[in-house]
Amino acid sequence: MSDKEAVANFWQEHWNNSHIAAEDFVKGRYVEEAFAELNASIRPESSKILEAGCGTGRLCALLARARPTCEVVGLDISEASIGLARKLKSALALPNVHFEQGDLFSLSYPDDSFDTVFNEGVIHHFKEDGNPSSSDALREMIRVLKPGGQLIVTVANWNCYPHTLYKWILGKRGVKYPYGYEKSYRRAELARQLSEHGISDIQFGGYYPAHGFYRLASNSRLFHWLGRFTDLIGTPFVVNTFGFQMVARGIKPMSV
């Protein structure tokens, strides 16, 4: 089974077994933090936006609600995910968002179609030398991005030490990480990968560093209090450097 099939099968089964109401997908602090960083990153003039790997469509829905004059498209390989995304669209009555099933590695759109292309927590599930690879995903996202358009990629942050350490301990114990393969990136690694694909003006942000502790709170109350402490010192430097997720944004050159 290829990495792509493994990822698709996991999320298909995961969302097939979900009993969450559609409108609840846009609730909660993690979604709020992720959306705030994304919305602040996307340029105001972006009028056609693609999320290539949208899952249940929560970020697409929030973007469509916040930017009613934009056309937002969400694509995901999982039929179950897209089914939930369409229910969310209906629940929130959003005419300017469209969801469709498709393959991140073989997008059906023409070259130079979108002002902004993004995904959140997707490419880190694919190895850089895999088949398909994270680089294959980036190449296809850049293909459908207009020259001068904006690429935004969110991945697990290596500097979120509780999450990185948690995955390392699981590996040492021979325990599989619940979400399959997931690479935690250092900034230099992601910057190099984006630069190799011609992306320029690369900038970084992040969000919700305390989430790495809160995810472990069921194991010990100590992690809850460490999360609370991290929240208290949530300066921009702390958030951008140690955020649970790292957000990279850059520009496709006018000619490639």
Per-residue pLDDT of the chain (256 residues), as tens digits, is 678 888 889 888 988 888 888 889 999 999 999 999 999 999 999 999 999 999 999 999 999 999 999 999 999 999 999 999 999 999 999 999 999 999 999 999 999 999 999 999 999 999 999 999 999 999 999 999 999 999 999 999 999 999 999 999 999 999 999 988 999 999 999 999 999 999 999 999 999 999 999 999 999 999 999 999 999 999 999 999 999 999 999 999 987 5
Residue 24 to residue 159: CA distance in whole angstroms: 29
**In this structure, is residue 53 part of a structural domain?**
yes
With residue 205 as reference, give the H or E element that holds it: strand 200-207
**In this structure, is residue 28 part of a structural domain?**
yes
| Domain range enclosing 88 | 3-155+184-206+244-251
Q: How many domains does the chain have?
A: 1
**In this structure, is residue 104 part of a structural domain?**
yes
pTM value > 0.85: yes
**In this structure, is residue 115 part of a structural domain?**
yes
**In this structure, is residue 84 part of a structural domain?**
yes
**In this structure, is residue 57 part of a structural domain?**
yes
Q: Are 110 and 86 in contact (CB under 8 A)?
A: no
**In this structure, is residue 197 part of a structural domain?**
yes
**In this structure, is residue 95 part of a structural domain?**
yes
Q: Amino acid identity, residue 197?
A: H
CATH number at residue 32: 3.40.50.150
